[in-house]
Amino acid sequence: MKKTSSLGLKCILLLLSLLLLIGCQKNSSATSDNTTIRVASLKGPTTIGLVNLMDEASREECEHSYEFTIYTQGSDIMVAMAAGDIDIGLVPANVAAVMNNKVEGGVAVIDINTLGVLYCVSGDDSIHSISDLSGKTVYTTGQGSTPEYTIRYLLAQNGVTDCSLEFKSEATEVAAFLAEDPSGVAILPQPFVTAALTQNQELKIAFSLDDEWNKVNTDCRMVTGVTVVRKDFLENHKELVNAFIKDHEASTKKVSEDLEGTAALVVQQGIIAKEPIALVAIGNCNVCCIHGKELRKTLEGYLKVLYEQDSKSVGGSLPPDEFYYVGK
């Protein structure tokens, strides 16, 4: 009887050992993926939250392998992702939706990396809100993209019908206009706002478009940049995608914890020309890493506003549920 019990116990222990071994092998295969994650970002605020991770990767201090490329146009990232040359891309919010429509659900958004970065700048002391733009000519950039749709939405919500928008191709052109006429009115993104204020003492920030948005829309936030992943990469390397989100969040957190170090890295990457400007601008860039359920709640409402302004702004239709990667 004792021999039978002893034999049964040995069998149970052997079975448990085998199950444990199988479990370890599964965990090992899930976390030992040594695929290099190819990440593309834009030369601007959307990359600020990424620079600390880029620095760690360059010093081989990351658990996973990364390869980073900085572009100047969101459309170039779209092309590279469609060709399979990029796995993860940091792009304007509406570009992500357009990309998803063009490649028939080929991408998923995994986090929001930047909220509102647009500010009204002028030497005119009478301007304090969107309503004060009535009868004014406003110089800005981003015709046919999120800056234009955001500005027009806010003007409409405030009943302003007589504000004229003059579009320039580059933010530097708008800054040059303000340098010649500080009494003019412009809407610029960071870090160009800080650069303009540094160069001209007569200029000031009249208001933040993010603040104006929050006055008229409590259902969602204004979103500048998001991070997307190719669907096939997500399906084949889900653990790596989850790891990137974790690393991105840690990198973003370090922006506020080590502002001086981050500013130096931002200059090193060519995002902002000078450290003094970077030190001031970074705090006004609304850098973040919003993921999970909050990601969908924040982004879905914003894209709906853009869609109602012009359906083409999001590629003709709103993204489906599968567009939002909210779980692990």
Residue 124 CA to residue 321 CA, distance in Å, equals 45
Asked if residue 273 lies in contact with residue 196, where contact means CB atoms within 8 angstroms, the answer is: no
Give, in degrees to the nearest 5, the angle at Cα 192 between 187 and 195: 125
pLDDT at 24: 37
Residues 37-115+223-323, CATH architecture: 3-Layer(aba) Sandwich (3.40)
pLDDT at 32: 61
Single out the residue of 118, 115, 114 nearest to residue 141, CA to CA.
118
For the chain, the domains span 37-115+223-323, 118-216
Residue 67 CB partners (closer than 8 Å, separation 6+): 36, 37, 38, 39
298-320 pLDDT, tens per residue?
A: 999 999 999 998 899 999 999 99
Is the pLDDT at 5 greater than 50? The verdict is no
Please return the burial class of 74, using the count of CB atoms within 10 Å of its CB with bins 0-12, 13-18 and 19+: buried
Handedness of CA 267, 271, 272, 273 (dihedral sign): positive
pLDDT at 267: 95
Q: What is the DSSP secondary-structure string of 22-53?
A: HHHHHHHHHH-----EEEEEESSHHHHTTHHH
CB half-sphere exposure, 170, CA atoms < 13 A:
5
pLDDT at 8: 53
pTM confidence score = 0.85
Is the pLDDT at 78 greater than 50? The verdict is yes
Q: Which whole number is the average pLDDT over 217-231?
A: 93
Is the pLDDT at 12 greater than 80? The verdict is no
Q: Which whole number is the average pLDDT over 2-12?
A: 47
Tell me, yes or no, if the two domains 37-115+223-323 and 118-216 fold the same way.
yes
Percent above pLDDT 90 for the chain:
69
Residue 123 CB partners (closer than 8 Å, separation 6+): 178, 182, 183, 184, 200, 202, 203, 204
- What is the pairing mode between strands 204-208 and 118-122? antiparallel
Residue 290 CA to residue 296 CA, distance in Å, equals 9
- Rounded alpha-carbon distances, angstroms, from residue 121 to 5, 15, 134, 176, 223: 83, 71, 15, 13, 20
Asked if residue 39 lies in contact with residue 66, where contact means CB atoms within 8 angstroms, the answer is: yes
282-293 pLDDT, tens per residue?
A: 999 999 999 999
Please return the burial class of 80, using the count of CB atoms within 10 Å of its CB with bins 0-12, 13-18 and 19+: middle
pLDDT at 179: 85
pLDDT at 91: 93
Residues 118-216, CATH architecture: 3-Layer(aba) Sandwich (3.40)
> Residue 191, preceding bond cis, omega within 30 degrees?
yes
Confidence of residue 120 (pLDDT cuts 50, 70, 90): very high
Mean of pLDDT over the chain: 88
pLDDT at 22: 39
